[in-house]
Amino acid sequence: MSRAYLLAVTLVVAGAHAAPAGSIKGVVKAQLTGAAPSAEVKMTDDPACLAKHTKPVSEEKLVLDASKNVKYAFVGIKSGFPEGQAFRAPVEPAVIDQNGCMFTPHVVGVMAGQGLKVLNSDGVLHNVHLMGKANREVNKAMPAFTKKMVLPGTNFAKPETIPLKCDAHPWMNSFVVVAANPYFAVSAADGSFEIKDVPAGNYVVEVWHEYLGTKTQNVQVGDGVATANFTLSK
């Protein structure tokens, strides 16, 4: 029997015993009794920022579509993995931009130990101020000529939700959510999200939103698509 044949058989057998993986899909909705809070961003103190917009800009504290689907909700697996299981942080950093004197996206997820690349597409002075409690505080100026700043994973060593602001422009704020594992997503404009390549198992999935709070549900994942829809109310 040839060595190549034995290798092929070994690969087939190993693949046959590989644990199945699936995905978790869902939609995040808001249940509100009144109108959603909204406020126009006042950029009049900085003509350079104001000149980047041709129409009013709204805060992103609560962004809903016509069906009250929620954008910028962070959804991730809270528990269900074997105790002590370790996860390797991605080598590539997550990315957040400063564009139009706003942080984009408003919510970004990183895994513990993963870095964060902060871009400056505006060509104006910004200030990157991460106000972590479990993690170290970061407060660095980003001059107009600086196009990017890479913060290493040591700044995001422990899971927590970190407020991010620009001290040069007080209306600029966002959140960096540090997750304990790589299984998370941020909801799109239609409230939808997808967490891919989740090993089969039973998990507690949590959604977090800065205005609407948190909620959990139990989700069983197999080798297909598991559904986890959330309705949040203030």
Distances in Å between the alpha carbon of 164 and those of 32, 104, 106, 139, 156?
Answer: 27, 12, 9, 10, 13
Residue entry with tokens 């997820």: 109
179 domain residue, yes or no: yes
Residue linked to tokens 């800009």: 57
- Tens of pLDDT, residue by residue over 18-72, are 568 999 999 999 998 877 777 899 897 789 999 999 999 999 999 999 999 999 9
Extract the tokens encoding 147. Answer: 């196009």
Structural domain total, the chain = 1
Tell me, what amino acid is at 198? V
Does residue 104 sit within a domain? yes
How many CA atoms are closer than 13 Å to the CA of 89, on its beta-carbon side?
A: 22
What is the rounded (10 degree) CA torsion for 98, 101, 103, 106? -150
pLDDT band at 8, cuts 50/70/90?
very low
Residue 109 belongs to some domain of the structure: yes
3-state helix, strand, coil in the chain (%, to 5): 10, 45, 45
Q: What is the CATH number of the domain that holds 140?
A: 2.60.40.420
**Strand, helix or coil for residue 204:** strand
pLDDT higher than threshold 70 for residue 6: no
pLDDT in tens, 139-171: 999 999 999 999 999 999 999 999 999 999 999
In a domain, 14, yes or no: no
| Residue range(s) defining the domain that contains residue 180 | 21-233
pLDDT of 11 reads: 37
- Largest separation between any pair of C-alpha atoms in the chain: 79
Collect all residues with Cβ–Cβ distance below 8 Å to 27 and sequence separation of at least 6.
69, 187, 190, 191, 192, 193, 229, 230
- The verdict on residue 76 lying in a domain is yes
What is the C-alpha separation between 21 and 130, in angstroms, rounded? 35
**Among all chains, which residue has been given the structure tokens 């139009």?**
100
Give yes or no for a cis peptide into 159 (omega within 30° of 0). Answer: no
User: Does residue 133 lie in a domain region?
Assistant: yes
pLDDT given at position 163: 98
Q: Which long-range contacts (CB under 8 A, 24 or more apart) does 64-68 make?
A: 64/30, 64/36, 65/189, 65/190, 65/191, 67/29, 67/190, 67/191, 68/29, 68/30, 68/31, 68/32, 68/36
Contact status, residue 153 vs residue 59, Cβ threshold 8 Å: no
Domain contains 213: yes
Could you tell me if residue 200 is inside a domain? Answer: yes
Q: What is the pLDDT of residue 7?
A: 41
Strands 103-104 and 107-111: unpaired
Residue 17 has pLDDT above 50, yes or no: no
Mean pLDDT over the full length of the chain: 92
